[in-house]
């Protein structure tokens, strides 16, 4: 059974945004990772993707509600989607206490808590400030 | 209930091929356990990745930006 890897929200954004300078680099990396790993995302990632792709402060030409809803369906059909379960909340509580996680960093910690729930040790992300802080400790 | 772990093949017609030499004839319960496999091929993945021209992406897409309060 292949190892698992978790794709964070910005990877999905760069994958679908053809004009992004990261688009081709991320696409090449995905091809490499696809052969080695089982690719996972989570409900949180799908939700955040929808937030970013419809946000006119973040994108010059944001998607419509219909467009983003179709995208969410597509991502769910090509990657495994982790649900947040009771164990995820227990993992999150542990991380919050262990690393004194606060404020918006709790959203990052929840990604780590979800990964732990599904025994996923690898994360693919362009920027991981929040998670790096947790993993270094 | 008596449990016995066996390995069996499923043929092209999707029949379970299993010869049980040491089990007496009669009804048995079968539980199918299957390893999870990749749910798509790479070609299929490429065809399903959403493609958009959304222009320039502002910022780094950190969660602090994603969850930035409106207004």
pLDDT per residue as tens digits for the range A60-96: 999 999 999 999 999 999 999 999 999 999 999 999 9
Residues of A in contact with B40 (CB under 8 A): 77-78
ipTM score: 0.81
- Phi/psi at A112 (nearest 5 deg)? -65, -40
Q: What is the pLDDT of residues B30-69, one digit of tens each?
A: 887 766 555 668 888 899 999 999 999 888 888 888 887 6
Enter the tokens of residue B29. Answer: 């319960």
**Which residues of chain A form beta strands (DSSP E)?**
3-7, 37-42, 80-82, 122-124
Query: Which of A34, A48, A126 comes nearest B42 by C-beta?
Result: A34
Half-sphere exposure for A108 (CA within 13 Å, toward CB): 24
Residue B54 zone, left/alpha/beta (φ > 0; ψ -120 to 50; rest): alpha
Compute the distance between CA of residue A31 and CA of residue A41 in angstroms, rounded to an integer: 16
Three-state DSSP class for residue A16: helix
Compute the distance between CA of residue B24 and CA of residue B16 in angstroms, rounded to an integer: 18
Q: Given an 8 Å threshold on Cβ–Cβ distance, is B61 in contact with A10?
A: yes
Cβ–Cβ < 8 Å for A67, A24? no
- Phi/psi at A5 (nearest 5 deg)? -135, 145
Is the pTM above the cut of 0.80? no
């Amino acid at each position: 059974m292949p190892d698992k890897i978790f794709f964070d929200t910005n990877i999905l954004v760069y994958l679908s945004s053809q004009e992004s300078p990261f688009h081709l680099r991320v696409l090449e990396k995905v091809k490499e990772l696809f052969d080695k790993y089982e690719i996972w995302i989570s409900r949180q990632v799908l939700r955040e993707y929808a937030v970013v792709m419809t946000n006119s402060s973040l994108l010059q030409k944001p998607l419509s509600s219909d467009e983003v809803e179709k995208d969410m369906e597509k991502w769910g059909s090509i990657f495994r989607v982790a649900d947040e379960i009771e164990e995820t909340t227990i993992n999150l509580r542990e991380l919050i206490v262990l690393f004194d996680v606060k404020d918006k960093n709790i959203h990052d910690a929840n990604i780590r808590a979800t990964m732990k729930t599904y025994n996923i040790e690898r994360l693919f992300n362009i920027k991981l400030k929040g998670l790096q802080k947790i993993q270094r400790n | 209930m008596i449990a016995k772990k066996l390995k069996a093949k499923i043929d092209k017609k999707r029949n379970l091929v299993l010869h049980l030499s040491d089990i007496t004839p009669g009804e048995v319960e079968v539980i199918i356990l299957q390893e999870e496999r990749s749910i798509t091929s790479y070609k299929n993945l490429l065809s399903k990745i959403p493609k958009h021209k959304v222009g320039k992406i502002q910022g780094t897409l950190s969660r602090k930006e994603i969850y930035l309060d409106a207004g």
